[in-house]
A = this chain, B = another copy of it.
Amino acid sequence: MLAKIHVTFKNGVLDPQGKAVHHALNDLGFNEVRDVTLGKYLEIKLEGVSAEEAEHRVSDMCEKLLANTVIESYRYTLDPTD
């Protein structure tokens, strides 16, 4: 079972890295770039859990460790074949 997790800043929270990348891309001549956000992407391999359990466990991991829910939100998908 593979959990694919995206952690990104909530709306309105300053994303200094995204801002810097945006700036850099414009400087490099990518003038079509209007906005950049930079987040985290995790792949977590799980073993010995059912799909339902995994659902619950992964959301628990996000809440407890992977996302800082004060400023970040998260979403994930579970891939049972992986």
- In the complex, are the beta carbons of B6 and A61 less than 8 A apart? no
8 Å CB interface, A10-42 against B: 18, 21, 24-25, 28, 30, 32-42
- Please give the number of chain A residues whose Cβ is less than 8 angstroms from any Cβ of chain B in the complex: 34
Closest B-chain residue to A54, C-beta based? B32
- In the complex, are the beta carbons of B6 and A32 less than 8 A apart? no
- In the complex, are the beta carbons of A36 and B45 less than 8 A apart? yes
- In the complex, are the beta carbons of A39 and B36 less than 8 A apart? no
Do A40 and B40 form a contact, CB below 8 Å, given A49-B32, A57-B30, A65-B21?
Answer: yes
Task: Tell me the A residues contacting B by CB distance below 8 Å.
Answer: 6-8, 18, 21, 24-25, 28, 30, 32-49, 54, 57, 60-61, 64-66
